[in-house]
A and B are shown apart, each in its own frame.
Chain A
């Protein structure tokens, strides 16, 4: 079997240089199962540069979502550590934005008020929320226009479709200009057409904010389309079995999906998943 060597397989050496924003140092995870501890994540070590968009793909149950929760600080790494600017993450980071597969919105708030929720909680926006509300409303309107929801500001969540709710939830995750955007299969519940449309919108949003993006997904095309780097995790107990840098120019378009280069990336990732 000939493996396409698109990029260096060495995981620890990052040629890019500069201070990484996030460093995973021998991160592991165990879970109690039938009286003994079962290893879910064997060891993950990697680093993420500022402004980098990375994806984690891999079989179900390999601990992808757990990695996201560790980065967000919702459940800090039990084994090893994840460092944010050199400091181990032990509690919620505050400057993250999260979107899940289930685009949870508050049913008593309309779209724009839902999007503005983080500004009521995160500093420095919180302290003068009332005085600068007009300005914040315009920020929210701006984001909503990027995802073509400008005409749905006053609508309540139950008046929106699933795709619209997910777009609003993406806006909410980005309105406070987070340094890290965490996405847990955000488009998993959407149909194929809507999903591809969302990739473009997410890319636009992300290119505006220029934050680190960490995407968990089952969709390999999605990972290639959106990422600078794709990490493939093996089956339990998992580790990173393949890393590939996606060198497609940005902004990426749906036409690129048909290019040989795109398919080459897709095929190599796919091969690594199926041979483990």
Chain B
């Protein structure tokens, strides 16, 4: 066992086994305790729904994915720029940081009805909610990355007469990359949460919308199928960033 834990495949095998085991237990629990499917559908039941409602699920899943990605990309751009402004300018830090923290404490779900009034019940509030949830961790991490450059390293460059731009290019940017990637992984899940919240409150499509519709019809297996797809998309996006991270910042340990 000790030996196996040290192998590379352990990181893939173990979660997989755990997932299968969870589904088996779940299936057994539903059968043994005779839980009706509109309370808790068995995994096989969810799988059925997944197949039967495949077209509907695909359309809504793509909508959610597209909305999330758009919100996420905007969050990356705004977050990185904001992070650099806060990280490099003391004045901006003092002015903006308290505002950002205050804004971040507002539950974004509470903003969705307002966004719906302004933009209608469509993908725009969902994109914006995804963005609003995702940009904060990115901005904070970028600022943190810039702030943690060793002062000695800055001194070495400054004493050589390096310009601000050169210091950023040679030290600031590469040093901040690991912080950016750490935040991207968090921000990606946040963006999904934002989209689904918004879709379930005010939208005309998307997995959040589908879940609300399905539960209203007591089609709980369909709701679970949608949840399953959401989880899958989240995990895939997370893995994607881990792969990119390993390529880009191979030196960070």
Which residue of B has the minimal Cβ distance to A94? B161
**Least CB distance, B28 to chain A, in whole angstroms:** 48
Inter-chain CA distance A182–B150, complex, in Å, is 18
Apart from A98-B155, A108-B252, A173-B156, what 13 extra A-B contacts exist at CB < 8 Å?
A: A72-B155, A72-B159, A93-B159, A96-B160, A102-B150, A106-B170, A108-B251, A117-B156, A121-B157, A121-B162, A156-B251, A158-B253, A172-B156
Which residues in A have their C-beta under 8 angstroms from that of B156? 98, 104, 117, 172-173
User: Would you call B170 and A92 a contact (CB within 8 A)?
Assistant: no
Interface residues of chain A, those whose CB is within 8 Å of chain B, are: 72-74, 92-94, 96, 98, 100, 102, 104, 106-108, 117-118, 120-122, 156, 158, 172-173, 176, 182
Binary per-residue interface labels of chain B (139-153) against chain A in the complex, 1 for a CB within 8 Å, 0 otherwise: 000000000001011
Does B115 have its Cβ within 8 Å of any Cβ on chain A?
A: no
Which residue of A has the minimal Cβ distance to B171? A106
Which residues in A have their C-beta under 8 angstroms from that of B160? 92, 94, 96, 118, 121-122, 176
Inter-chain CA distance A176–B166, complex, in Å, is 17
Does B174 have its Cβ within 8 Å of any Cβ on chain A?
A: yes
Which residues in B have their C-beta under 8 angstroms from that of A96? 159-160
Which residue of B has the minimal Cβ distance to A100? B152
Which of these, A104, A107, A122, A182, contacts B251 with CB under 8 Å? A107
**Least CB distance, B166 to chain A, in whole angstroms:** 6
Number of contacting residues on B, CB 8 A? 19
Inter-chain CA distance A94–B161, complex, in Å, is 5
Which residues in A have their C-beta under 8 angstroms from that of B161? 92-94, 121-122
**Least CB distance, A51 to chain B, in whole angstroms:** 20
**Least CB distance, B223 to chain A, in whole angstroms:** 46
**Least CB distance, A103 to chain B, in whole angstroms:** 9
Inter-chain CA distance A203–B11, complex, in Å, is 51
Residues of B215-252 whose CB lies within 8 A of A? 249, 251-252
Inter-chain CA distance A149–B143, complex, in Å, is 36
Taking A104-B150, A106-B174, A108-B174 as contacts, is the C-beta distance between A73 and B253 under 8 angstroms? Answer: no
User: Would you call B159 and A92 a contact (CB within 8 A)?
Assistant: yes
24 CB-based A-B contacts, threshold 8 Å: A72-B155, A72-B159, A92-B158, A93-B159, A93-B161, A94-B160, A98-B155, A98-B159, A102-B150, A102-B152, A104-B150, A104-B153, A107-B252, A108-B174, A108-B249, A118-B160, A121-B157, A121-B160, A122-B161, A156-B251, A158-B253, A172-B156, A176-B160, A182-B159
User: Would you call B159 and A73 a contact (CB within 8 A)?
Assistant: yes
Which residues in B have their C-beta under 8 angstroms from that of A92? 158-161
Which residues in B have their C-beta under 8 angstroms from that of A172? 156
Inter-chain CA distance A118–B170, complex, in Å, is 11
Which residues in B have their C-beta under 8 angstroms from that of A108? 174, 249, 251-252
Which residues in A have their C-beta under 8 angstroms from that of B157? 121
Which residues in A have their C-beta under 8 angstroms from that of B155? 72, 74, 98, 100
Which residue of B has the minimal Cβ distance to A71? B159
**Least CB distance, A255 to chain B, in whole angstroms:** 34
User: Would you call B166 and A121 a contact (CB within 8 A)?
Assistant: yes
Which residue of B has the minimal Cβ distance to A180? B159
Which residue of A has the minimal Cβ distance to B177? A108
**Least CB distance, B57 to chain A, in whole angstroms:** 43
**Least CB distance, A189 to chain B, in whole angstroms:** 13
Taking A100-B152, A104-B152, A156-B251 as contacts, is the C-beta distance between A74 and B158 under 8 angstroms? Answer: yes
Which residue of A has the minimal Cβ distance to B163? A121
**Least CB distance, B156 to chain A, in whole angstroms:** 6
**Least CB distance, B155 to chain A, in whole angstroms:** 6
